[in-house]
Structure formats: C-alpha cells, structure tokens
C-alpha cells in the first residue's frame, strides 16, 4: 500500500498530538509541517525524533499546500486561523482534517460547508469525542433502541481550566469563538448525533467566575467563560443539557453522560469504571455492560479517540470508509455553541432560525 503523505499545519499541543498518533502508523509518512513560530516547530522536531529527518518545514501554510509534498493535511492551528487556512486548503484537492471548532463563527462555517461540497477530496472535522470508547458504546446502544425512544440527554463536564497555548490565544473569545464553541462543540456534536434531529432553541446561563480573572495580555483582560448550563430543544421534541465547570479538577470523572428514553436509561463516564450502565424501567434493573477498548497505537489525550478518528479519516481518503464527521456536523456543533453564547449575552432563549438555518 502506498504511503499517505501527511502535513500538519500548526504544531502546538494538538498538532504534536496528531504527530504522535501518526508515528505508529506504517502506512503514512509525515513529510511537512508548518508553523510561523519557532517554539512549536521545535516541539514537532522533538515529537518526531528520528522521523524528523526528511520533514520539510514551512512558515506559511500556503507554501506547504503548494509544495506537492502532501496528500493530506491536518489543520491544528489556533481556532481563529482556521477559516483562512481552509479557504486555501479547500481550493486544492488535498485531503483535509481540521481540528474543532471548524471555524469560530456560524457564517464562516457556512462558507466552509459550501467549499467542501465543491471538491472531491475528503474534508473531515476533528470531533474525536465520538470515538471515546464509553461514548461510542453509548451511541451504539442508543441506535440499537436499548432504551426505546430517546427523550433526554445530559452531559456533565467538570474539569481543569484552559491550558496555556502559544501567545495565550485561547484566553480571548475573539480568538476561540468562546468557551461554548471552543471546548463544548464536542458535546453539542454528540447531542446532535445522538438525537438525530436539528436543534431548534437554546437557553444558556454562564459566566467567568473563577479562572483567569487576573490575567491581562497586552492590556487586554481574559474574557473566557469558565462555567455554564446550556439547554437545547430539538425539532423532534428531545431536549439535552450541558453542565460545564472548568474549576472542578477534584471529581471522579471528567465527563458523565446520561441518556433517558421511554423504556430505560444509559449512563457512562470518562474515564469511568469501564462499563456502560443500562437501566430498565420495567423491572428497575441496572446492568453493567463492559465497554470494549480498541487496540490503538497511541492513547494520548483523548483515551485513544484521536488515533481511531485518524484511522477512519485515512480509510475515507483511501476509499475504504465513509466521511463520518463532515463539515455539516462541524457547522451544527458551532451553531449550538454560538447560540448558547448569544443566549448568555442577551439573557434570552435563542431560536436557531436566527442564524438563517
């Protein structure tokens, strides 16, 4: 099998994580990286080790795209740069995996959806939470009808604050799209996928109450929300809820997910106890179902999910699998986050039709 040549645009934390995922794969080859900053380039060199030899370094993503050295590119640069990079990448026939969020605004996401439809190469959005073993098993159980008709879905993420990134770009809403876009698009994607219908209305309450309150960069104070509740209504009558706290490092689990149907309930957690718990209304029983864990070449930040997603992306590129996370999924994950921010800012419910969708 011919080796697939990969380039990585943006070699910060997630860019290097993707490099670590690619390293164990014997059917791919990292041939180029691009980053305007010296330090992330050095991180990429350290990450690749002996594989760094033969990697071409570019300071501008456009030079990488025009080099003829790559068949596929991973865009892992800061959120606010995605749109400009995608404009260039999607005008080529290079296969693209872009990290979440696809873009920081709904309008930019709409533009990317159109651009992706006008080419034959694969465009994939990095929403890897779908592939975390406990979550993937819960989604399978929902599809199998194990709890009847889904009525409610609740996701809790209680975690640590945002990490430090290059130039502190993630401390500002103008760069990230806001916490509920930057971080929570993962969860809104899971909601959209599980419910299988379009979101219709969003209600949210949130604030910046603990984290980054005394952080000032170049005269600008950090404005990143660190907690929120978000309720989403769907066209088919299902409702979902997100409970986010980014000053809750002391919990047993980072994520907890509960799905309730008309005949039962599913519960799982990350990292959890290795089981999906299925409760049945008819006899009030609860069964622990072991969650299979796929053997992966690199476990990394997301319990192996990023590795699994990259393998699915490669399968799609080779014509051996479907594009499972397309730009439409990327758009709708951002729509819910953007509506949640508008709801908080304007203190009102937000109807999704306000976005022309």
Judgement on whether residues 29 and 95 belong to the same structural domain of the protein: yes
Q: Quote the pLDDT of residue 293.
A: 87
* pLDDT at site 174: 96
| Residue that is written with structure tokens 């969650």 in the block | 291
Question: Which of 126, 160, 194 is a domain's end point?
Answer: 126
State the pLDDT at residue 300: 87
Looking at the structure, do residues 215 and 105 belong to the same domain, yes or no?
Answer: no
What distance in Å separates the CA atoms of residue 43 and residue 282, rounded to the nearest whole number?
55
Domain end: 126, 141, 162, which one? 126
Q: What is the pLDDT of residue 5?
A: 98
- The tokens 């490669």 sit on which residue? 314
Question: Is 18 in the same domain as 151?
Answer: no
Q: 101 and 232: one domain?
A: no
Same-domain status, 35 and 134: no
Return d(Cα 81, Cα 116) in angstroms, integer.
17
- Which domain CATH number covers 251? 3.30.360.10
How many alpha carbons lie under 13 Å from residue 245 in its C-beta half-sphere? 11
In tens digits, what is the pLDDT along the chain, a chain of 357 residues?
689 999 999 999 999 999 999 999 999 999 999 999 999 999 999 999 999 999 999 999 999 999 999 999 999 999 999 999 999 999 999 999 999 999 999 999 999 999 999 999 999 999 999 999 999 999 999 999 999 999 999 999 999 999 999 899 999 999 999 999 999 999 999 999 999 999 999 999 999 999 999 999 999 999 999 999 999 999 999 999 999 999 999 999 999 999 999 999 999 999 999 999 999 999 999 999 999 988 899 988 889 999 999 999 999 999 999 999 999 999 999 999 999 999 999 999 999 999 999
The domain containing residue 110 runs over which residues? 4-126
Q: Based on the fold, state whether residues 47 and 23 are members of the same structural domain.
A: yes
Domain boundary among 126, 154, 178: 126
Q: Are residues 164 and 204 in the same domain?
A: yes
- Has residue 312 been placed in a domain? no
Position 173 in a domain? yes
d(CA 324, CA 110): 18
Residue 1 burial class via C-beta count within 10 angstroms: exposed 0-12, middle 13-18, buried 19 and up: exposed
The answer to whether residues 122 and 246 belong to one domain is no
Whether residues 166 and 150 fall in one domain = yes
In a domain, 197, yes or no: yes
In a domain, 181, yes or no: yes
pTM over 0.75: yes
Q: Is residue 214 part of a domain?
A: yes
Give the CATH number of the domain where residue 26 resides: 3.40.50.720
Domains: count for the chain = 2
């Amino acid at each position: 099998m011919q080796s697939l040549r990969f380039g990585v645009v943006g070699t910060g934390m997630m860019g290097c994580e993707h490099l670590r995922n690619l390293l164990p794969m014997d059917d791919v080859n990292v041939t180029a990286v691009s980053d305007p900053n010296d330090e992330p380039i050095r991180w990429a060199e350290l990450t690749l080790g002996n594989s760094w030899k033969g990697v071409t370094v570019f300071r501008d993503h456009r030079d990488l795209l025009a080099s003829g050295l790559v068949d596929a590119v991973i865009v892992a640069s800061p959120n606010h740069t995605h749109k400009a990079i995608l404009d260039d990448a999607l005008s080529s026939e290079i296969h693209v995996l872009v990290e979440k969020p696809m873009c920081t605004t709904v309008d930019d996401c709409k533009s990317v959806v159109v651009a992706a439809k006008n080419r034959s190469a694969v465009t994939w959005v990095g929403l890897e939470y779908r592939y975390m073993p406990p979550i993937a098993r819960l989604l399978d159980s929902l599809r199998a009808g194990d709890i009847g008709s889904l009525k409610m879905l609740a996701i809790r993420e209680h975690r640590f604050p945002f990490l430090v990134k290059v130039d502190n770009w993630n401390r500002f809403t103008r760069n990230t799209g806001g916490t509920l876009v930057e971080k929570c698009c993962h969860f809104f994607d899971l909601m959209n996928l599980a419910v299988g219908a379009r979101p219709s209305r969003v209600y949210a309450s949130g604030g910046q109450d603990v984290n980054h309150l005394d952080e000032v960069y170049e005269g600008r104070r950090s404005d990143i929300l660190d907690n929120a509740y978000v309720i989403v209504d769907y066209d088919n009558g299902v409702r979902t809820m997100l409970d986010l706290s980014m000053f809750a490092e002391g919990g047993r689990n980072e994520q907890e997910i509960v799905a309730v149907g008309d005949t039962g309930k599913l519960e799982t957690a990350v990292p959890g106890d290795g089981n999906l718990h299925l409760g049945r209304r008819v006899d009030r029983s609860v069964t622990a179902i072991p969650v299979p864990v796929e053997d992966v070449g690199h476990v990394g930040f997301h319990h192996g999910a990023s590795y699994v997603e990259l393998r699915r992306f490669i399968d799609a590129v080779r014509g051996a699998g479907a594009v499972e996370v397309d730009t439409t999924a990327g758009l709708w994950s951002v729509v819910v986050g953007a509506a949640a921010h508008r709801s908080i800012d304007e203190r009102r419910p937000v109807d999704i039709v306000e976005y022309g969708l």
